[in-house]
Structure 1
Amino acid sequence: MNLFDGLERNARNNPNKTALIFNETSYTYELFNEEANRVAHGLLSYGIKKGDKVAIMMKNSDQFAFVFYGILKAGAVAVPINFRLTAHEVNYILNDSDSLIIFADEDLSETVKKAAEGNDKLLLQVISGTTKQPNQLLLSQFRSFNTVNPDVGVVEEDDCEILYTSGTTGLPKGVVFDHHRILHVGFGMIMTMKIAQDDHLLHIAPLFHSAQLNLFLVTGTFLGCQQVIRQDFHPVQTLKDIDQYKISLFFGVPTMYNFLLQVPNREQYDLTSIKRCGYGAAPMPVSLLQKSMDLFGTDQFFNMCGLTEGGPGGVFLMPDEHKMKLGASGRASHLTDARVVDENGEDVRPGQVGEFIIKTESLMKEYYKKPEETRKTLKNGWLYTGDLATMDEDRFITLVDRKKDMIISGGENVYSTEVEQTIYKHPAVLEAAVIGVPHEVWGETVAAVVVAKPGQQIDHEELQQFCRQELAGYKIPRIIYEMDQLPRNPSGKVLKYQLRDKYKELATK
């Protein structure tokens, strides 16, 4: 079995069923499969072989789905890239992943062109749209006329995805998955959230994220669900879509729920088709959770606490568990084992803080070309997440801190070390520490605490513009504080918890 078997099966058995809706254009499962085949044959005609890497830097769209499945059908490995990244950041991922071809949206063609400079491995830049840069090819020209299923012979053990996630070093790491692992992500969703063929799904979170891609698009396509894709999240449009297309399962980050609650006259939309709601990527305040339940008229909310390296996988807080364990992250679902351990890998006592580790069939295969990082993270079949947590007597896990000092702003992960490395390049900066501070809309926002070099002054707006040259917009520090020196422990490590405590009060005033 492989990830596209379900697409081909639905194209045979339910050819006329609506598969995708994008910008009011509908595609049946037969047409969806044919469009993916056209991309696959295009890749094969350019010499792409099983195991070759092909990047996708596209916003949510019908074309994203066609390209993603076309890559899989050609036996290649899909490398989704965050479309918000700068050319500098994309250049690193293209080189590190050994990508041979990149598909990108028309408005990203200039970024891709710059990112490809000096890359001898990249053979082709394919642009979805009507205009392109020199030496690029339009997707309409790239696609083959052949709509027959390719006969490549893809099996479960073949690699299918490399998803990039920043690490504590600040450099992104490629998380490798094969078809077997991502199939089990879908099996877990079918068992836990009871996704079925008659569900109507709405994709508004970015498809380059493992959550929206693997939990929902792959699972929904495998089952034969009707799926609506939106390029961006717009609160009013989301409510309209739920009403018009009778969406039955909704997934969003807490910030999205917050924006939906701000829509005037939201009661005019019929949201009764919603039967289940999932939230994740960031903590959801209790008050926001209750208001969201009132909005959708259901208490069937699932807290999904996972990580990319898990497929994503982790723990769930089920709807009935919200009543007695509200505030907990959840506990292991059907196909997952979860523990909280000390530095020796031994289970800690209930209530004691330790490291959250998981074991499941959907765990990553490895970090691409990083054997030492892989050995540190995968031990005896367990994934060591780097997150600090407690487990109670009922085996409910609650995350209490993040070893990696990760910041979650509007559902996007920001790693402090990556931002710090850019700030340290500024000629006026002596020291820098990046932390997350509370924000009423985004959950957290990025703040930088900086120390100026002797005789230098730091212009805050100029520093932000400096960062923008190398970092995506959501990683730019929105708040900048200055100190004479950073607090450190005897070994010289910056005490970030002291900075968070010091500045969280100021941020909320």
Structure 2
Amino acid sequence: MIHSFIESLPYEQRVLSEMLDRCFENNESSVFYVSIDEKNREVTYAEMKEKVDIVASNLLDLGIKKGTNVAVLMASSTDYISVWFALAKIGAIEVPINTVYKGETLQYLINDSDARYIVVDEEYYAELNKISAGLEKIQYVISHGQNDYSYETSWNIVGWERVTKYSEVRIRHLFNEINNNPVYPHDPVGIIYTSGTTGPSKGVLLSNHHLVFMGLTHAGIMHYKEDDISLNFLPYYHTAAKFVTMACMLSGAKMILKKKFSITSFWNDVHEHQVTLLSSLGGVLPMLYNQKEKEDDVKNSIRAVYVIPSPKDNYYEIQNRFGLKLVVAYGGTEWNIVSSTELDEDKPGSAGRHFEQYYDLKIVDEHDFECSQYEQGEIIVRPKIPHIVMLEYYNKPEKTVEAWRGLWFRTGDRAYKDKDGYIYFVDRLKDAIRRRGENISSFEIESVVDKHPQVIESAVIPVPADVGEDEIKACIILKKGADVSHQEIFNYCYENMGYFMVPRYIEFFDDFPRTPTGKTRKNILREQGKRGMTRLTWDREKDGGIKVTSKGIDAIKETQ
């Protein structure tokens, strides 16, 4: 299915803006998507194309041209989608910014992107203004909303009404510009900043083909059809929201747009709109599963869920409880979607086999020798067709070279293959912990801790030991109203994992710092307090008087 879907679109047509034009020609009056946050507003392809052309013509009139970097600080909305496609139509490079960023992080991303223009929702304008003195290159601020523009600034402030005003002269100029400077599949279309789970964010420069190929791949994996309805609550500063949107366009399916995921309204939204497809990244699926079970959970319209990573511990339970199929994929912003399970197969814990027609993929040891079956190593990837992996890390040539060592892209992910070639993701390499001579996967410890009946989610991080290597800290979110002690969690860990894996430190959290897609930002947890330790961290040796060895549990004397 994936191959037929991908091969159905010629390479020269794999340009984001051309997708909209073709959809308009073939489905002019069809509803493309429904915006829940805008009172279930229906947007047809005809309405979308008209809006995109107007916005593009006005952005062009403001000086935005092919190759211009434009930062976008907006929540998901119909206007965001219009801005995204308008920039693509001109050939400008969209730089979507995480809307939760503030201060130095926000300043760094905008400066690093070389953006001279930024489109910003009014609710984020105050944060932008706070760092105005440190924004080195911004000249134009296009304000989406009703700001009073009373801030003292050297920026040229452009109101949203200026961007959405129809002008026949500007429309003609737009199409003349497009004819004179056409956009090609190999041209860059966006800079997506990585989540920064292991360090400072890097801007991933993506081509049109890269982004469109993601949409084609996702549509093929999930067997998108015209009668499908896909719920999209993911942020557009991440590739997932974008490839769900493109999969709907490529297949003729309808998209249900929502600004963000809500556990309280999720099932109401599903039932009201008869959602058939869902993309679940990060903690979404665990949150749904951890809700109180109901007799009618299985009575819903969802047929399949795209999920990263695999919920291997309750894989079958999720499918049976909700009456759906799980499709597990593996990929990344930089290297695209490179593997997935099939819709009609069950492989708990696996991310399927890689797409051999489009990528080479190996799992190698630290010296780049290919690992044997079941031996863990790093996933490395390289494309077989042009422009389906990143063009570069923007403004970071040394990081680009480092990532492409030996002409293979280094994903930084630890995994292994079974005898049939199925890939099993284990951990990020930098999340691996070395303790008492043992290499320990944080993922494996989390899998055990997450099975505790009072635990919703855990994140395991290394804490520097007093003398070399690491100690282990388990950060835990308990269920509401849970009555469980640090000692009880320790006892559970001791009973269910190898002695060298048992955390020394335990801390309870209300929630974790997260990326836009719900992934836990372990780098922030590692940086909290002193070397990842806070006043709320329980130390089993100092607070519990417990030492764990290969021989069992030893009590630590009070004099020690």
- Give 2:28's aligned amino acid: P
Superposition pairs for residues 70-109 of structure 1, below 5 Å?
A: 70-109=86-125
**Could you tell me how far apart the structure 2 residues matched to 1:482 and 1:372 are?**
31
In structure 2, which of residues 17, 23, 29 is the aligned counterpart of residue 16 of structure 1?
Answer: 29
Q: Write out per-residue CA displacement over residues 125-152 of structure 1, whole angstroms, 9 at most, x where no aligned residue.
A: 2222222543543323322414859432
Matched with 2:416 is: 390
Query: Residue in 2 aligned with 1:27?
Result: 43
* 2:425 corresponding residue in structure 1: 399
Report how far residue 264 of structure 1 moved.
Answer: 6.4
1:257 paired residue among 261, 270, 285: 285
SS of alignment partner, residue 283 of structure 2: helix
Name 2:554's counterpart in structure 1. Answer: none
- Please name the residue that 1:328 is paired with: 350
Structure 1 Cα separation of the partners of residues 266 and 68 of structure 2: 37
State the secondary structure of the residue aligned to 2:134: coil
Distance 1:50 1:433, change over 3 A: farther
3-state DSSP class of the match of 1:205? Answer: coil
Letter of the 2:353 partner, please give it: R
| Cα offset, 1:349, TM superposition | 1.1
Kept in 2, the 8 Å contact 1:106–1:131? The answer is: yes
- What is the match of residue 558 of structure 2? none
Partner SS for 2:48:
helix
Q: Give distance in 1, aligned partners of 2:184 and 2:460.
A: 35
Match of 1:447 in 2: none
CA distance in 2, matches of 1:435, 1:484: 8
CA apart distance, 1:159? 0.4
Residues 3-402 of structure 1: pairs in structure 2 closer than 5 A: 3-22=16-35, 23=38, 24-131=40-147, 133=149, 134=151, 136-146=157-167, 150-151=174-175, 152=178, 153-165=182-194, 170-213=199-242, 215-253=243-281, 255-261=283-289, 272-280=300-308, 282-287=309-314, 289-298=315-324, 300-311=325-336, 313-322=337-346, 325-333=347-355, 335-360=358-383, 361=385, 362-379=388-405, 381-402=407-428
| One-letter code aligned to 1:7 | L
Distance 2:373 2:297 in 1: 45
Equivalents in 2 of 1:92, 1:480: separation in Å?
21
CA shift, 1:69, in A, is: 0.8
The AA in structure 2 aligned to 1:178 is S
Please tell me whether the aligned partners of residues 202 and 394 of structure 2 are also in contact (alpha carbons under 8 angstroms): yes
> In the alignment, is the contact (CA less than 8 A) between 2:221 and 2:343 conserved in 1?
no
Q: Distance in 2 between matches of 1:374 and 1:254?
A: 26
Change (3 A) 1:388 1:473: closer
Identity of aligned residues (%): 26
Cα distance in 2 between the residues matched to 1:239 and 1:131: 35
Per-residue deviation, 1:166: 5.1
CA contact (8 A) 2:120 2:141 kept: yes
Q: What TM-score do you get using the length of structure 2 for normalisation?
A: 0.70
Tell me the secondary structure at the aligned position of residue 287 of structure 2: helix
Q: 8 Å contact 1:109–1:132 — kept in the other structure?
A: no
- Is the CA contact (8 Å cut-off) linking 1:72 and 1:78 kept in structure 2? yes
8 Å CA contact 1:167–1:404 kept in 2: the answer is: no
Partner Cα distance (1:364, 1:294) in 2: 38
Deviations 1:62-100 (A, max 9, x none): 122111111111210111111111131111111111112
Deviation at residue 481 of structure 1 after TM alignment: 7.1
1:261 Cα offset (Å): 4.0
Q: 1:249 to 1:48 in 2, by over 3 A?
A: same
Q: Which amino acid aligns with 2:418?
A: D
SS at match of 1:252: strand
Taking a change above 3 Å as real, the CA distance of residues 99 and 197 of structure 1, as seen in their structure-2 partners, is farther
Distance in 1 (alpha carbons) for counterparts of 2:472 and 2:253: 42
What is the CA distance between 1:343 and its match in structure 2?
Answer: 3.1
| SS of aligned partner of 1:286 | coil
Deviation at 1:365, TM superposition (A): 1.0
What is the distance in 2 between the residues matched to 1:245 and 1:478? 41
Distance 1:190 1:481 in 2: 44
**Alignment partner of 1:437 is 2:475:** yes
Secondary structure of the corresponding residue to residue 340 of structure 1: strand
CA displacement at 1:434 relative to structure 2: 10
Deviations 1:39-75 (A, max 9, x none): 2112101111111111112222112211111111121
Between the aligned partners of 1:211 and 1:291, the Cα distance in structure 2 is 25
Question: 1:433, 1:209 → 2: CA distance?
Answer: 33
What's the TM-score once normalised by structure 1's chain length?
0.76
1:445 equivalent in structure 2: none
Identify if the C-alpha distance between structure 1 residues 478 and 341 changes in structure 2 by more than 3 Å, giving closer, same or farther.
Answer: closer
Unaligned 5+ segments in structure 1 are 421-431, 443-463, 486-500, 503-509
CA distance in 1 between partners of 2:317 and 2:266 (Å): 17
Cα offset for 1:357?
Answer: 1.1
In 2, Cα distance between equivalents of 1:473 and 1:54:
26
- Per the alignment, do residues 270 and 386 of structure 1 end up closer, same or farther by CA in structure 2, a change over 3 Å counting? closer
Assess, with a 3 A threshold, how the Cα gap between structure 1 residues 17 and 99 changes in structure 2: closer, same or farther.
same
Is residue 525–residue 532 contact of structure 2 (8 Å, CA) maintained in 1? no
Where does residue 425 of structure 1 map in the other structure? none
Q: What is the rounded CA distance, in whole Å, between the counterparts of 1:5 and 1:484 in structure 2?
A: 49
Q: Which residue of 2 is the match for residue 449 of structure 1?
A: none
- Matched residues in 2 for 1:168 and 1:301: separation? 26
Paired AA for residue 248 in structure 2: G
How many aligned residue pairs are there? 441
Query: 2:252 corresponds to which letter in structure 1?
Result: G
Q: 1:391, 1:335 → 2: CA distance?
A: 19
Residues 387 and 235 from structure 1, CA distance in 2 versus in 1: closer, same or farther, beyond 3 angstroms? same
Q: By how many angstroms is 1:344 displaced?
A: 3.6
3-state SS, counterpart of residue 363 of structure 2? strand
Q: In structure 2, what is the equivalent of residue 507 of structure 1? A: none
What is the distance in 2 between the residues matched to 1:434 and 1:51? 47
Structure 1 residues 232, 166: closer, same or farther in 2, change over 3 A?
A: closer
Deviations 1:12-52 (A, max 9, x none): 22111111211311111111111122221121011111111
Larger Cα-atom Rg: 2
Matches of 1:230 and 1:68 in 2, distance apart? 16
3-state DSSP of counterpart to 2:16: coil
